[in-house]
Amino acid sequence: MFSVNDLKKTGKNIKFGKTDYDVYNLDEFEALRLKHNTKKNNGNIVAGCILVNYQDILTKGRPMQTRVRDTEDSKIIELTSQIKEGGLLNIPTVKWDKKKGEFVLLGGHHRLTVLWNIYDETEEDPDVPCVVPVCVLDFPTKEDQHNFCNADNNHPTSLDHTREDAKKMLQDKEDMGAFKRLDDKKKEAKAIKYLMSGYTALAPTIRKAQNLYKKLQAAPTVVSYIKPPVPEIKQAQKAAWGHSSNQKHAAALQDDGSVALHGNSQMYQNTLGNFRKNFWRQFGNCPAQKFEMKLATHVQITKNTSPDHIRKSRETILQDLANENNMMYLPVGRGHVEEVLIMAQIKDGIEQDAIHVWDKDKFVFSRNI
């Protein structure tokens, strides 16, 4: 395991865009693991380890994510404990996109989320950036890169692959033309090779890989879930209200004597749970205060989500929150949820993030941000 504070410079530097980066030595085992997986997929390690501003890494839309599900809270909790106690075991991987002039995350979605969370909890100076270690890789083709991402998701701290993930992998291969002009027999042989290469827990033998392939062929198409990362939630909050909640959803005393109570999370139900717990905690800690409560959450969407689905999901969320106001907060007489920011992150900018305000007994649309 390694910590940013323990990294040692190699004496070399490398330039990406207009920025020069010092290159650091990797842990020997991690260097061998990455070298093996990269070479196996015709790739090249451009920089073993550099320190990059979190904001300079493209994660929005999970462009290289091989899993169907987005970050899982249980894994975030497990990784947070492990990284705080012993440091980072496996370094996140990125590629440099020359056209866009930015780093694109290949592997390490959970790890980057944890590193941001730790930074957000401990760094008091907003001018100090969140800097994370990454390994920069390059691959000659999209398929080589895709093969690496699938294989590299078997590192020691990774989540176990699911059948949904395997189905998504085969769908991705189909989309990139990996099975083009192949008859059924050759297609099956190639698919089995993919399954045994990156999904060894599901397909450890040829027979099990063959059985898995048949089941996946009959399984329905899967779609990936997209959740806005916490930094994007905070940016939306600042755009809406001029400030954002901190990681612990703490209350803040306002000039008029009220307490602004905020809630945000990557999962809607977690948002409500965190918000509710924080309200009752602050209710006990601030007996003389009245609360001005605002909440940021999001619509659970996939890359195929329609604007109509987003609108219906918004209606459900707003009705849930109206019930919370009417049944829980208003009877107490100490404040209620006054504004709700609902994020609808979807590719191509369909539907905007929107603010809804409390009006008598329900939430009504106020404005887009």
- Confidence grade of residue 95 (pLDDT, cut at 50, 70, 90): very high
Residue from 147, 64, 77 nearest 108 by CA: 64
pLDDT higher than 70, residue 132 = yes
Phi and psi, residue 54, nearest 5°: -50, -40
Specify the CATH architecture of the domain 4-152.
Alpha-Beta Complex (3.90)
- Confidence grade of residue 283 (pLDDT, cut at 50, 70, 90): low
Per-state percent for the chain, helix, strand, coil, to nearest 5: 45, 25, 35
Averaged pLDDT, 104-129: 84
| CATH 3.90.1530.10 boundaries in the chain | 4-152
Kindly state the helix (H) or strand (E) to which residue 20 belongs, with its residue range: strand 19-24
CA 246 to chain centre: 18
pLDDT of the residue at 217:
92
Higher-pLDDT residue of 287 and 75 is 75
Residue from 210, 168, 176 nearest 193 by CA: 210
pLDDT higher than 80, residue 20 = yes
Amino acid at 234: K
Higher-pLDDT residue of 34 and 311 is 34
User: How far is the C-alpha of 193 from the C-alpha of 346, rounded, in Å?
Assistant: 33
User: How far is the C-alpha of 342 from the C-alpha of 349, rounded, in Å?
Assistant: 14
Higher-pLDDT residue of 156 and 47 is 47
Give the residue carrying structure tokens 């991705």: 172
Residue from 65, 73, 69, 119 nearest 92 by CA: 65
**Range with top average pLDDT, 70-74, 293-297, 334-338, 342-346:** 334-338
Averaged pLDDT, 39-47: 94
**Range with top average pLDDT, 25-34, 117-126, 201-210, 308-317:** 201-210
Averaged pLDDT, 70-84: 78
Higher-pLDDT residue of 7 and 216 is 216
- 135, 248 Cβ separation under 8 angstroms: no
CA 368 to chain centre: 24
pLDDT of the residue at 197:
84
What average pLDDT is seen over the chain?
79
Amino acid at 338: E
- 117, 76 Cβ separation under 8 angstroms: yes
- Confidence grade of residue 21 (pLDDT, cut at 50, 70, 90): very high
Amino acid at 53: N
